[in-house]
């Protein structure tokens, strides 16, 4: 069953200061199945964040078609989209618990402890963001996104600039939470190995203006081992001539 349909003819920004239109996306068409984990990979500046912003509704997209599935058992509820940004974007003056409570109704606060335990932050609810490491702050942003139990979760290079073991632990945490809840995911990255480790399907974006130029299913059982991921990475590189590769080790 289709969860998300995207049909964007083109998206441009008007940069008044240089009196120019900048076309960022052109002919971006794809669908995502319910419960599917799709990674979108492309070079810096090809429009990945813009695409997520359009899907989430942060960015206006008049005339484009972005439709969500309102399936039977959930159709009485508002459609919920979670978004994990490149930076954790926590409110520095609020505690961990208060940062998560921001997205909840007061009758849902009892979930917070369970979420903190699930992301490995039991007992850290009264800490302020400045008292946490970078990896712990990302865990809070993951807990906050899952707190609304999203139908669709969008992630924009959420594990950038973390050391490899921390990033690997958070990737596994993401896989576990999505599996438990059956969350549909669109995950943006510029790291092919990360995409292969996480995704059921990878969409490759061209350089600016961005459009989808290839797609590949990742038919390796999870949990994925480093050898299988590396082998598929080289095959995909050959097939797509995708130039930007970051190597990291799966532990």
Ligand X SMILES: Nc1ncnc2c1ncn2[C@@H]1O[C@H](COP(=O)(O)OP(=O)(O)OP(=O)(O)O)[C@@H](O)[C@H]1O
Residues of the shown chain interacting with ligand X in the complex, contacts defined by CB under 6 A: 13, 15, 22, 24, 42, 44-50, 190
Q: Which is nearer to ligand X, 32 or 52 (CB)?
A: 52
Q: Which is nearer to ligand X, 108 or 208 (CB)?
A: 208
In angstroms, what is the minimal distance from the CB of 138 to ligand X?
Answer: 17
In angstroms, what is the minimal distance from the CB of 97 to ligand X?
Answer: 30
In angstroms, what is the minimal distance from the CB of 43 to ligand X?
Answer: 7
Hey, what are 51's tokens? 């695409």
For the chain, what's the residue count? 251
Q: Are strands 81-84 and 2-15 parallel, antiparallel or unpaired?
A: unpaired
DSSP labels, 206-242:
PSSSB-EEEEEE---PSSPPHHHHHHHHHHHHHHH--
Residue pair 150/82 in contact (Cβ under 8 Å)? The answer is yes
In angstroms, what is the minimal distance from the CB of 154 to ligand X?
Answer: 12
Q: Which is nearer to ligand X, 14 or 105 (CB)?
A: 14
In angstroms, what is the minimal distance from the CB of 45 to ligand X?
Answer: 5
d(CA 80, CA 83): 10
Vertex 242: Cα angle to 239 and 248 (nearest 5)? 110
Q: Which is nearer to ligand X, 52 or 196 (CB)?
A: 52
Hey, what are 211's tokens? 């459009």
Cα–Cα separations (whole angstroms), residue 126 to 112, 121, 166, 217, 243:
12, 11, 22, 42, 44
| Most distant pair of Cα atoms in the chain: their distance | 53
Q: Which is nearer to ligand X, 42 or 129 (CB)?
A: 42
In angstroms, what is the minimal distance from the CB of 87 to ligand X?
Answer: 11
């Amino acid at each position: 069953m289709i969860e998300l349909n995207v049909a964007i003819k083109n998206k441009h920004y008007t940069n008044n200061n240089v009196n120019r239109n900048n076309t960022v996306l052109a002919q971006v068409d794809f669908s995502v199945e319910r419960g599917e984990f799709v990674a979108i990979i492309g070079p810096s500046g090809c429009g990945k964040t813009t695409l997520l912003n359009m899907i989430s509704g942060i960015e206006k997209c008049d005339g484009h078609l972005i439709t969500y599935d309102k399936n039977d058992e959930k159709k009485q509820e508002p459609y919920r989209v979670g978004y994990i940004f490149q930076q954790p974007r926590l409110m520095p003056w609020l505690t961990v618990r208060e940062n998560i409570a921001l997205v909840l109704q007061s009758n849902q606060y009892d979930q917070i402890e369970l979420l903190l335990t699930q992301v490995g932050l039991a007992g850290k609810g009264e800490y302020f963001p400045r008292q946490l490491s970078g990896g712990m702050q990302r865990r809070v942003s993951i807990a906050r996104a899952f707190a609304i139990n999203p139908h669709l979760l969008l992630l924009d290079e959420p594990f950038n600039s973390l050391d490899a073991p921390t990033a690997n632990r958070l990737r596994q945490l993401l896989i576990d939470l999505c599996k438990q809840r059956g969350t549909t995911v669109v995950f943006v990255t510029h790291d092919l190995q990360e995409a292969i480790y996480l995704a059921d399907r990878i969409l490759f974006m061209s350089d600016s203006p961005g459009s989808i130029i290839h797609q590949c299913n990742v038919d390796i059982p999870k949990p994925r081992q480093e050898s299988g991921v590396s082998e598929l990475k080289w095959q995909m590189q050959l097939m797509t001539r995708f130039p930007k590769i970051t190597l990291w080790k799966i532990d």
